Structure 1
Amino acid sequence: MTPGHGVDSASGRASSAVLALACAVQFMVVLDVSVVNVALPSIQRALGFDDGSQQWVVNAYVLPFAGFLLLGGRLPDLVGLRRVVPLGLALFSGASLVGGLATSAELLVAARAAQGLGAAVLAPASLTALTTTFPEGPRRTRALAAWTAVGMAGGTAGNLLGGVLTEYLSWRAVLLVNVPIGVVAALLAQRFPGRGAGNGPVRPLDVPGAVLATGALTSLTFGVDHARTHGWGATTTTSALLVGLAALLAFLVVEARFAREPLVPLRLFRVRAVSVGNAAVLLAGAALNPMWYFLTLVMQQSLHYSPLLTGLGFLPHTVVTIVVTALVTPWLMGRVGSRTLVVAGALVAAAGFWWQSRITADSGYLEGVLGPAVVFSLGSGLLNTPITTTVTAGVGAADAGAASGLMNTTKQFGAALGLAVLVTASAGDLATPQALAAEHGRAFLMIAAVLVVVAAVATALPAPSRDQAGQRPT
């Protein structure tokens, strides 16, 4: 074996280890967004949530996740991935233990918020590990395709796992299962490279920026949700929205003028792929992530599926998403370009959600769940990898963590705000299974409309080079 070959082999093994561990971390983080969905009716009955407040079992996780992703994205540059990942896993697993043992709605929501903080540390670390290990080009495209596919698989597998655990054990098991997984993952995370170990001068964390970002996201989401029951003119609603907007403005001022190491260097927005791409990511998150919430409820409350059958009902989403995201999309990116795939994927997904909006309490599985699932899973599989590749392209290594944190933040904030808006806008008479199906159908129709807007925004994305698209230059 030649020396050069040995170096290449060692480098390849190290890169494969980074990819495997980054995917494992991403799977765990995304899994917990969806694993509670199937258990929501059981949690509601056990802890006394009402029909509107149960969404906070989801949003209590998503909002801190989104708000502190920017701060989490900077941590690997200061203390190193080998330290950051076990820290995030310890927080995540400990909060899962508390949530699984919770005896009140308030304690469960608090535990879910702590889980979100742990996830905010883990998610950008996994993406930063990839973007700093794999240079732009075909290898990065394949790595991001695998990372994206695993994340989407975590979202869909969470519904199946949640169904099995809720059906045969308890809703508590959907949280307690994270504890042994987190311990094993923490041991494996020791294989992360020591990149960014923090041996140089310690740079200050932008804690004020993180607090303002989280406050803005939480206030805006609470204001939208409060409007559902009290109206847009209510004092509490308008106050929450104004506080959220003021916090967002203050965040921008802090980032531009006062933060020595801003969470979001505003120069990033001069890159068209970053500014336009994050707008598309925000809208896509607002459309695709809340789908699990509404589809879970319609299967259990309108179609009367058990938790296990509901989880099994999500299997087609998993299969189609993994195949399209991991195998089909990277091949297509080198031939038609990422911008074209984002536009096409958003329109295909919109068609699937329009079909899903036609569901009634008398729908069978084939026409009510399976058919729409194949179509919108195909569309979402086509758009997710190219939008991730586009948003992280053209960003220097010094801003890799910030760009990763920004993309994850916009996606998660879109998910939280989208869920609150959709719950508010689709609310109606919930007295019968037919009425419930009609309410959820309105939500799916609005999701389809948002995805049409995603397609329109994506037309402004820059056209990638052939190498960035995933095909080696000639």
Structure 2
Amino acid sequence: MVNSQIQQARWSAWLLPVLLTVQFLVSLDMSVVNVALPDIGSGLGFGGESLTWVVNAYALAFGGLLMLGGRLADVIGRRQVLMGGFAVFGAASLAGGLAQAPGELIAARAVQGVGAAGLAPVALALITVNYPEGAARSRALGLWGASGAVGGAVGMLAGGLLTDWVSWRAVMLINVPVVIAALAIARHAVSADRRTGTGERLDLAGALLGTAGTTALVLGLVRTQAYGWTAGQTLAVLTVAALLLGAFVVTESRVRRPLLRLGILARGPVLAANLFALLMSAGQFAAFYFASLYMQQVLGYGSTATGCAFLPFCVGIVVGSALATRIIGRVGARALLVAGGLLGAAGFAWFALAVAVDGGFWLSVLGPSAVASVGVGMCFVPLGTSATTGVAPQETGMASGLLNSSRQVGGAVGLGVVVTVAASATGAAGPAGLVHGFSAAFWVAAGLLTAAALAAAVLSGPPPRPAETTLAEKTSKNSGGGVETGVARSTQG
């Protein structure tokens, strides 16, 4: 018995690395195929606009199923959903790397998104449940946020290197050994948990409406890049999304055990965190996109050089997250969100001023990247903290799925809006016209980060007093929804 406890304590040290791997992988696969798209198109014979579905299929499945994935973790168990998500993600990656036709690759990317939708909310929920409030949780959240941002940036570099040196298939197959290792470790490091609800069943009506509505919304938004906002098919898809999401809200307000309990948004910190995540992701995704275009289309960088140019952004994210981890206990989540949002906005504004036809790496890329990345990195710890403030243990998956949905939808909204703005601002053909459009895009990104900081300042309330937190936990346990906390104590070290 003693040996078993010692062995479990040793394995528990691997819990955080497994959860960081989750966040890194799901972010990596959002960006890693972008640089490889030309080779994918020629290698499999994609025609017309069908190549964009290599990206969109993943985004649709991922964004549409995030809330369902989070709630499944609450109902059937976090360990089960984590292991299942890894298995689905790894199998889809293998299938994508071996694909022989466009349809096979698109299907594999969609299934990858399904796996990612189970993994992403579970990772945040497990951090919230297994790490007590204070320095341990702040450190875990800082690393969690940094791993996601670094995964997105490293995806650009890895996509270029793997495509240039190996094959486009390597950007899919590289996931397989990582998933196998993570599965083997997670089997021991993640403790089996009982069902966290009081014997409830999944809200199937809410799951169908929420998934269909979110998927339609993401579909409508990603298609604006090709068809514009006023095209009939764009308006039709967005209208269907609005109707489905409206029906989802009505349904969730009436069922006893909803997929998303609307009252969770009545908490100021939770509402502020989700609005902040939506706005920040909208600006950040757009800025990443246009920074890449600027380096390739104006500065003349190749795919590998563009990926390398994103490495300073990765370093800045880590620095910002480390800083937030150290000071959140003194300054609080709201102050960090406001400061990080404004610093990120300053970096994107610098981008808007610095992009030029005769620009260079040091002034037009490195300087703005350093400022923006530190600001964005400062936001991940307080985002994770605020999004789960006062949330009962049996609803951590719900809260995590909501936050991840806000980030995903925000990225799609931001890219759709900013691409339209940049296109309308682009003047004459050639580098000068492109630079004018890129500058406008970065100004919009800076405005979105400023709006996020304002939302945090207005909506975030002070964190709950310890007595209030204890009462919430007691209430949760009395309702039959308590969860095991032994792992939390074992993972503090």
Q: Do these two structures clear the TM 0.5 threshold for a shared fold by scoring above it?
A: yes
- Tell me the CA shift for residue 251 of structure 1: 1.0
Q: Name whichever of 386-395 and 150-159 sits farther off.
A: 150-159
- Tell me the CA shift for residue 350 of structure 1: 0.8
Give CA deviations for 1:411-455 in whole Å, capped at 9, x if unaligned.
111112222222233225695344333333322221111111111
Give 1:119's aligned amino acid. Answer: A
Give 1:392's aligned amino acid. Answer: T
Counterparts in 2 of 1:335 and 1:41: CA distance versus 1, 3 Å: farther
Contiguous gaps of at least 5 residues in structure 1: 469-474
Q: What is the aligned residue count? A: 461
CA distance in 2, matches of 1:32, 1:285: 16
Aligned to 1:243, which of 240, 243, 264? 240
CA distance in 2, matches of 1:220, 1:76: 24
Residue 448 of structure 1: aligned partner: 446
Residue 477 of structure 2: aligned partner: none
SS at match of 2:447: helix
Counterparts in 2 of 1:42 and 1:373: CA distance versus 1, 3 Å: farther
Contact 2:221 2:412 in 1 (8 A): no
- Tell me the CA shift for residue 17 of structure 1: 2.6
Residue 220 of structure 2: aligned partner: 223
Residue 457 of structure 1: aligned partner: 455
Give 1:92's aligned amino acid. Answer: F
Give 2:343's aligned amino acid. Answer: V
CA distance in 2, matches of 1:422, 1:367: 23
CA distance in 1, matches of 2:263, 2:284: 29
Counterparts in 2 of 1:356 and 1:43: CA distance versus 1, 3 Å: farther
Give 2:305's aligned amino acid. Answer: L
CA distance in 2, matches of 1:349, 1:241: 30
- Tell me the CA shift for residue 202 of structure 1: 5.3
CA distance in 2, matches of 1:49, 1:288: 30
Residue 432 of structure 1: aligned partner: 430
Give 1:196's aligned amino acid. Answer: D
Counterparts in 2 of 1:432 and 1:400: CA distance versus 1, 3 Å: same
* Identical amino acids, percent of aligned pairs: 42
Residue 418 of structure 1: aligned partner: 414
CA distance in 1, matches of 2:393, 2:145: 21
Residue 373 of structure 2: aligned partner: 377
SS at match of 1:341: helix
SS at match of 1:136: coil
Superposition RMSD in Å: 2.8
Counterparts in 2 of 1:342 and 1:390: CA distance versus 1, 3 Å: same
Contact 2:74 2:196 in 1 (8 A): no
Counterparts in 2 of 1:196 and 1:11: CA distance versus 1, 3 Å: closer
Counterparts in 2 of 1:129 and 1:230: CA distance versus 1, 3 Å: closer
Q: Are 2:332 and 1:337 aligned?
A: yes
**TM-score when normalising by structure 1:** 0.88
Q: Are 2:17 and 1:29 aligned?
A: no
Give 1:141's aligned amino acid. Answer: S
- Tell me the CA shift for residue 180 of structure 1: 1.8
Give 1:456's aligned amino acid. Answer: L
Contact 2:13 2:189 in 1 (8 A): no
Residue 475 of structure 2: aligned partner: none
Q: Are 2:209 and 1:212 aligned?
A: yes
Q: Are 2:345 and 1:350 aligned?
A: yes
Counterparts in 2 of 1:129 and 1:33: CA distance versus 1, 3 Å: same
- Tell me the CA shift for residue 203 of structure 1: 3.3
Residue 110 of structure 1: aligned partner: 107
Give 1:129's aligned amino acid. Answer: L
CA distance in 2, matches of 1:53, 1:420: 18
- Tell me the CA shift for residue 366 of structure 1: 0.8
CA distance in 2, matches of 1:220, 1:73: 19
CA distance in 2, matches of 1:189, 1:218: 30
Counterparts in 2 of 1:388 and 1:55: CA distance versus 1, 3 Å: farther
CA distance in 1, matches of 2:152, 2:233: 33
Counterparts in 2 of 1:114 and 1:187: CA distance versus 1, 3 Å: same
Give CA deviations for 1:276-306 in whole Å, capped at 9, x if unaligned.
2211111111111333322222222222212
CA distance in 2, matches of 1:362, 1:209: 53
Give 2:194's aligned amino acid. Answer: A
CA distance in 2, matches of 1:266, 1:27: 29
CA distance in 1, matches of 2:96, 2:9: 40
Contact 2:19 2:123 in 1 (8 A): yes
Counterparts in 2 of 1:424 and 1:321: CA distance versus 1, 3 Å: same
Residue 317 of structure 2: aligned partner: 321
Give 2:147's aligned amino acid. Answer: V
